Structure 1
Amino acid sequence: MQDHGLLTIILLLATGVLLVGFLRYLRLPAVFAYLLTGIILGPHALAVVPDLARTRQLATFGVVFLMFSIGLEFSLAQFLSMRRLVFGMGLAQVVLTSLLFVGIALLIPLPWKTGVILGGILAMSSTAMVVRALAEKMEMQTRHGRIAVSVLLFQDLAVVPLLILIPALAGSTANLLQDLAMAGLKATLVLLVLLVIGRPVIRPWFQLVANRKSTELFMLNVLLVTLGLAWVTEQAGLSLALGAFVAGMLISETAYRYQVEADIAPFRDILLGLFFVTIGMLVDLPVWWANMGWVLAVLAMILLLKGFLVWGLSRLFGFEPGVALRSAIVLAQAGEFGFVLLALANQYQLLPPRVLQPVLGGMLFSMMLAPILVERNGWLARTLVESYRQHRDQQLAEIRAANFQAHVVLCGYGRVGQSVGRVLEEEGIPFIALDLDPVRVRQAQSAGESIFYGDASRRDVLQAVGIFSAQAVVITYANVTSSQRVLSIIKELRPDLPVIVRAHDDSQLERLEAAGADEVVPEVTEGALMLASQTLLLIGFPVSTVLRRVRRFRQERYQFFRGAFWGGSEPGEDQNSARLASIALGETAFALHLSLRELNLTRFGVAVVAVRRHGIRGRDPSPDTVLTPGDVLVLFGTPAALTRAELYVLEGNTVQEAAAG
């Protein structure tokens, strides 16, 4: 097909939007949508998007910004604090996995260069997928979580020398050692020059740019530094990604790290999505089908051999079999950087198609299985490892031995949980806390705190802490999904037990209340309430008046504070969450001269929070309030419900039937 630039972009965007939306609905990573887009529209399927060199060149900038992000997150202090696992287990995992696949390649047989490249590619695991899944399950601070994060940190770092190695392997065998030595020397010299010169320059330069107080100038400066250093390393015969990594490292030491990370996120995500589209364009489905045996063999090697290596290293580093198995399950998949290295090797024609397609298929299938395996890693460990199950039983026995009665159960013992515990202790109320951070549990136990290592989303753990004899449960998690999971189990075991749940803001109230929370305490709302009360005190209001107001606001379940007016976008917020909206009634509005009772807007799923008339805002208006021209209705509900209610208020019967549907 002839390449029509704009039409090609529109087709890519349309397919990407549909697939990303569908896969997000299935709770699958967006990377699968980009890969599917490339497969469907690529030269081996519909051939709508030709595999053009300029498309691949643009996609490489996604890798540039990905490496820049890794550089931003590179923290020498973090590496040193976890050095035993990062530089011990992480280094061993990458080296041994690479050597294992080199040996397999030589047995097939394949050229040793191909084996080295495959070893580096398949040694990588998915940082984005694993970290996100562990965070959602609150397993980041568990022992297997710390192992996984440490190994992933070293893998990210190992990409840098691999980006140097692959172009060197494309040279002649006779000069390979010389080429590798020269590449290593150039990389060392370039890095030293950039770090020595850049370190004292980058901080004052960014300060100078930031002082201009121009968002556009700051963003242009970030792009200049990133692409400029990438160009320098490319001119030195190295990769663009290496220069971007150095740029990220330099900026990570400044006070502008987080602002830079937020600014480059749109560029990175869009271009990285395009990169994965080009990876999908490499997929040749007929070749996959013809070589399905090899595809499944590669999948088995990634899951089993790589997993076995991680298990063995975990055991070697002193972890018990269950923790070792959980670490192996979490890390047994291919990763994003594996695709980066695969694309680079394909660019230098180092992987023949008979090798490329099965490897690509095995990597993709392993990433498709990864969310399921990570989600079920604990269940698999308890099922397959008897000693781990016995260890869990022993932990439960220790918890049961506490034998609390009429106590409070604290789910999560971070700063919020500890503060609640201090208050309960001061009042002489017994409590038992559950937490998944082994370091925190050990330190708190040594200080005499009533805390145990345990997952509150498991029935047997909740039963062990005496859920049937408890007075109340307090859930202090920051993650709403985790709180909902615990709530569902508590209400199943003991529906009458009062449960108080922490929330970030009032947009999460309905979700948590629907899950069974008796009280939800939004941090933002409580913060606003305290700020308001302190303001009233400082401007002269009597303490009794302020306390009475605060008490009334809380008794009315934060109704005055619930909801907020949203702007054009709210970063990090659920776009379907409830919010406030105002509707001005003009001379032709259908709702004029009707009472709120007659309007009955509750059938649309919205609540009338206030009516503003002649500049005066009346909260919680009476259902008998009759609306007049110029009134402003303040409503609370989801975007869809607010849209239906607004159409009815303004146009009435002409859209009433459609709105009700």
Structure 2
Amino acid sequence: MPHHTPLIATIVAGLTLAFAFGALAHRVKVSPLVGYLLAGVIVGPFTPGYVADQGLATELAEIGVILLMFGVGLHFSLKDLMSVRTIAIPGALGQMTVATLLGMGLGHLLGWSLISGLVFGLALSVASTVVLLRALQERRIVQTDRGRIAVGWLIVEDLAMVLALVLLPALAGGLTDAASGPADPLGAWIVPLGVTILKVAGFAALMLVVGRRVIPWLLHWTAHTGSRELFRLAVLAIALGVAFGAASLFGVSFALGAFFAGMILAESELSQRAAEESLPLRDAFAVLFFVSVGMLFNPAVLIEQPWALLATVAIIVVGKSMAAFAIVRLFKYDTNISLTISASLAQIGEFSFILAGLGVGLGLLPEAGRDLILAGAIISIILNPFLFNAVFGLGRVRAGATETPLPIPANDLRSTALSEHVIVVGFGQVGRRLAEGLEIAGRPFLIVDLDDAAERRARDAGFEVVNGNAADARVLTAAGDSIARSLVVTIPNGFEAGGVVEEARRANPELHIIARAHSDAEAEHLRRLGADQIVLGERELADAMLHRLRMPEVDDTEASPSAPEGERLLLADPEWALLAAARASGLAPGDTISAGALMDAAGVSGAFDVPRLHAAIAHLVEQDYFVRLGEERLRITLAGYAASAQAPSL
């Protein structure tokens, strides 16, 4: 077997060093992007030691670009953009114009051409999606007014960059034609741009007419096969296939094709699952993209062009921030929101790298410009957390507070009128089944979900919904966490569930919290964060299957004599309440239920406290109406089922 394997060597070196430097960056509270870029510098041609294959790294980076843009399209939300359109659209375009003009000015001082300055300025004008969202999520302000404005602003910037990526090749072609012959504006500029626009329009029309039908249908068909492997493969095939087809058939960029594929897929009810399934590969190739970008960076620029680099960083951190601050203030928003938007945009990232690479490849941007962009990105990403901390510190001083975070401005979240209710976090298959059961039992409840499609499904079913991230204190407040009886976290991701549990426990120490886990480690993690009860999915499935197998024995041996016909059993009120709850929950002989869920259903009237219900369960077990399965599970017997039929309604 040959040992000279440059592809494997490039992937291994890139991912290994990216992990090492990314972990180090995380340790010192800096975005891991900085670590990935530094890993690329280490294996690049401008530093001693091992040098990865540049050609292979570039091709791997192309896959990274496709999957990055697919993710951007998949998370594109017209609703989010339209909710803040009055500030996000003019604000983003205005700020990009200012940053582009500043970049063109610096390019002119460096002796570059006008078009080089334009590409350079555009690359400095757009913020990193990864860095911005992570900064907002860490401070839990994504669902606030300032968070929505920042995200909407970012969407406009992303759309502008997609347009720039489409038009730059046509612009380069026009420059080439103009340089090789007489200056004919029609032949050199208008015709190439017109042809490009027609190609993009044709591709967009095909995607909107055909893609909107074929892609969701294909994904739903694959989902119905029940194969997770095929579903994941379908998502990747759609992303890569549409991107490659767009480039091959219409001559548009991989990036635009992938963006459209994600945007079309976002309309499907399976979009969230598609995002989850593609995330691991998307993250891996995104890391390789950043590594490949780092390989292009020449550290000599730090010594050879220190003043140009200082000016570049000043445009990113100071120029863009001041422009954004002035625009937001012009629209009559307060200083706290203006400062948050300014800090959010004071960095550059993935789109800047894509644009710089395309500019150099087309001969529109000198390599020195790319080096300045890369160095400026690294420095601005390092500075961004400190800038955010300064902004929040200033906000606390202005608010006269010393220990509490910035007051969150009002938004469109409307608080529930419910009390003593159940908060169901997540409206997937588990959340929907739980909501239906609560409705049958007559328990007051509401749904919390961030996904727009899930929100629509819940509202269509007639349920009350709070749309937002349940890990956000504002969302939990709107859901009435301080006056709720229970909170049930049905989302499958243990890390995300932990954030919800932690925030809910912090807000209400008395709240009864039930969470879902897939492993003992997840269960322990959720317990540490404050969950009262953990439901392990695999264990519940195994228990249910085992007891289904035992049902014939249950019917034959576990029945106990019932009361004579017409005579009511002698049971206490809490015991009748538990049997009525079992009937309301639809339990048949041999079915199982957690003791906590049974007590929650029985305690709907509020007449019985927890100790009385525990004692009632113990008595029902003694009477052979239930059988204990460990500490938390109960199985109803045939006698219990018969007794539940006599129980008065709750």
Note if 1:232 corresponds to 2:249: yes
CA shift, 1:367, in A, is 1.7
* Distance (Å, rounded) in 2 between the aligned partners of 1:527 and 1:378: 48
* Structure 2 residue corresponding to 1:284, chosen from 275, 278, 298: 298
Identity within the alignment, %? 26
Structure 2 counterpart of 1:129: 131
* Structure 1 residue corresponding to 2:392, chosen from 374, 379, 390: 379
**What whole-Å deviation, never above 9, does each CA across 1:608-627 have from its counterpart, x for those lacking one?**
xxxxxxxxxx9769xxxxxx
CA shift, 1:362, in A, is 1.3
CA gap 1:209/1:550 in 2 versus in 1, 3 angstroms: closer
CA shift, 1:190, in A, is 1.3
* Structure 2 residue corresponding to 1:63, chosen from 62, 65, 73: 65
**What whole-Å deviation, never above 9, does each CA across 1:295-342 have from its counterpart, x for those lacking one?**
344223211211111111211222101111012112211121011111
CA contact (8 A) 1:134 1:140 kept: yes
Structure 2 counterpart of 1:40: 42
- Corresponding letter in the other structure for 1:226: A
Structure 1 counterpart of 2:100: 98
CA shift, 1:280, in A, is 0.8
CA contact (8 A) 1:334 1:366 kept: yes
Structure 2 counterpart of 1:19: 18
CA gap 1:308/1:393 in 2 versus in 1, 3 angstroms: closer
* Distance (Å, rounded) in 1 between the aligned partners of 2:273 and 2:526: 32
Give the TM-score taking structure 1 as reference length: 0.61
CA contact (8 A) 1:39 1:283 kept: yes
Structure 1 counterpart of 2:164: 162
CA gap 1:49/1:413 in 2 versus in 1, 3 angstroms: closer
Note if 1:300 corresponds to 2:314: yes
* Structure 1 residue corresponding to 2:210, chosen from 190, 201, 206: 201
* Distance (Å, rounded) in 1 between the aligned partners of 2:259 and 2:203: 11
* Distance (Å, rounded) in 1 between the aligned partners of 2:270 and 2:472: 38
Structure 2 counterpart of 1:243: 257
CA gap 1:293/1:198 in 2 versus in 1, 3 angstroms: closer
SS at match of 2:5: helix
Matches within 5 A, 1:353-372: 353-371=367-385
Structure 1 counterpart of 2:90: 88
* Distance (Å, rounded) in 2 between the aligned partners of 1:353 and 1:552: 66
Structure 2 counterpart of 1:503: 515
**What whole-Å deviation, never above 9, does each CA across 1:248-269 have from its counterpart, x for those lacking one?**
4444455665565556545544
SS at match of 2:300: helix
Structure 1 counterpart of 2:198: 189
**What whole-Å deviation, never above 9, does each CA across 1:167-199 have from its counterpart, x for those lacking one?**
315534756786443343223211222233443
Question: CA RMSD of the aligned region, Å?
Answer: 5.7
Give the TM-score taking structure 2 as reference length: 0.62
**What whole-Å deviation, never above 9, does each CA across 1:106-126 have from its counterpart, x for those lacking one?**
355543222211211011111
CA shift, 1:11, in A, is 5.1
* Structure 2 residue corresponding to 1:348, chosen from 362, 365, 370: 362
- Corresponding letter in the other structure for 1:85: I
- Corresponding letter in the other structure for 2:319: L
**What whole-Å deviation, never above 9, does each CA across 1:26-76 have from its counterpart, x for those lacking one?**
366553343222211110013533564454244223223322333344454
CA shift, 1:535, in A, is 9.7
CA contact (8 A) 2:66 2:254 kept: yes
SS at match of 1:285: coil
* Distance (Å, rounded) in 2 between the aligned partners of 1:286 and 1:393: 42
CA shift, 1:384, in A, is 6.1
Instruction: For structure 1, list consecutive stretches of 5 or more residues without a partner in the other structure.
Output: 397-406, 428-435, 441-450, 559-617, 622-661
- Corresponding letter in the other structure for 2:256: L
Number of residue pairs aligned between Structure 1 and Structure 2: 518
CA contact (8 A) 1:383 1:389 kept: yes
CA gap 1:306/1:502 in 2 versus in 1, 3 angstroms: farther
CA gap 1:315/1:510 in 2 versus in 1, 3 angstroms: same
SS at match of 1:332: coil
Matches within 5 A, 1:472-511: 479-480=496-497, 482=499, 498=510, 500-501=512-513, 503-505=515-517, 507=519, 508-511=522-525
**What whole-Å deviation, never above 9, does each CA across 1:129-172 have from its counterpart, x for those lacking one?**
32234234331111110111001101111112211343315534
Note if 1:338 corresponds to 2:352: yes
- Corresponding letter in the other structure for 1:379: F
CA contact (8 A) 1:59 1:272 kept: yes
- Corresponding letter in the other structure for 1:32: V
* Distance (Å, rounded) in 1 between the aligned partners of 2:141 and 2:539: 28
CA gap 1:535/1:272 in 2 versus in 1, 3 angstroms: same
CA contact (8 A) 1:70 1:248 kept: yes
* Distance (Å, rounded) in 2 between the aligned partners of 1:34 and 1:54: 17
CA shift, 1:232, in A, is 2.1
CA contact (8 A) 2:420 2:485 kept: yes
* Distance (Å, rounded) in 1 between the aligned partners of 2:53 and 2:542: 58
* Distance (Å, rounded) in 2 between the aligned partners of 1:521 and 1:511: 10
* Distance (Å, rounded) in 1 between the aligned partners of 2:151 and 2:408: 25
